[in-house]
Amino acid sequence: MWQDQTVRFTGGMTPTVRILLIANIAVFFLGFVVDLAFFPGFTETLFGLSLPGVRSGFVWQLVSYMFLHANGMHLIFNMLVLFMIGPETERGMGRRHFTIMYFLSGILGGASWLLINPRGVCVGASGAVFGILAAFATLYPQRRITLLVFFILPVTMRAWVMAAGLALMELIMLVGQSGGRIAHGVHLAGAIAAYVYTSTVFRGMGSGLRVFRIGRRRSPRRSGEGDSFDMKEVDRLLDKIASEGIHSLTSRERAFLQKVSRENRTGR
């Protein structure tokens, strides 16, 4: 997957993440109004994910449950991860792939919950959010991330270590704690779905990003030399990746970046 981790995207909030943030927060507060109008728990009964509901034809629950949350802390945690990690993941994947990955993680996470615990109702965007974490770690495995353990102690680790550690914790809790099987199964399934999707779609696309390490140590060579490259073209492609995602590169542009990568490694 992507080898160079020095890339830093800028540009603020991305379109899909903005829509998801607004939708989740709006639905959370709208749920209170709807429940007051009908009866407590009405929103969760109709739009939360349950096996009886799906069997009754309420298949929309596989999507709608992702926009419901049990309480304020549940919402805040998920939205913080979406806000902090989501934009860069969306820029790296592109809007379409990010959207597919998000909902695929949530839907498969919900499906796993139905298999593990067919009773009760499941709500929350946690499966999709864990999908974002897994996708980010797949795209940028060596990126350093600082976490606040217990919201006090800062711990810095690489993205792949964070993702692997969280996955291991979820697996241990899933197997060892019967009371926590619901949430942990959703988290783990969402992360696996995102990893498989991201690594499959972006397989072989990462080598070109090694050019980020070229920096400006080397001067552009004159055009016409057999193995030369044009730094202006490199800069143009890097800007295109930053704004539209690496998927936006044509096969010719991708081949060009891979050639630059090879030349940089061999010192040609």
Q: How far apart are CA 63 and CA 60, in angstroms?
A: 6
* Locus of tokens 């943030």: 21
Flag whether pLDDT at 207 surpasses 50: no
Cβ atoms within 10 Å of 171's Cβ, excluding its own: 14
Over residues 129-134, the mean pLDDT reads: 94
57: CB partners within 8 A, 6+ apart: none
Q: What is the pLDDT of residue 113?
A: 87
What's the sign of the alpha-carbon dihedral 79, 134, 2, 201?
negative
Cα–Cα distance, 210 to 4 (Å, whole number): 5
As a whole number, the mean pLDDT across the chain is 77
Q: How far apart are CA 28 and CA 43, in angstroms?
A: 10
In 3D space, the residue among 132, 142, 249 whose CA is nearest the CA of residue 202 turns out to be 249
215 backbone φψ class: left, alpha, beta (φ>0; ψ -120 to 50):
left
* Confidence check: pLDDT of 100 > 90: yes
Is pTM beyond 0.85 here? Answer: no
pLDDT bracket for residue 151 (50, 70, 90): low
Confidence band for 150, pLDDT divided at 50, 70 and 90: low
Domains in the chain and their CATH numbers?
15-201 (1.20.1540.10), 207-266 (no CATH)
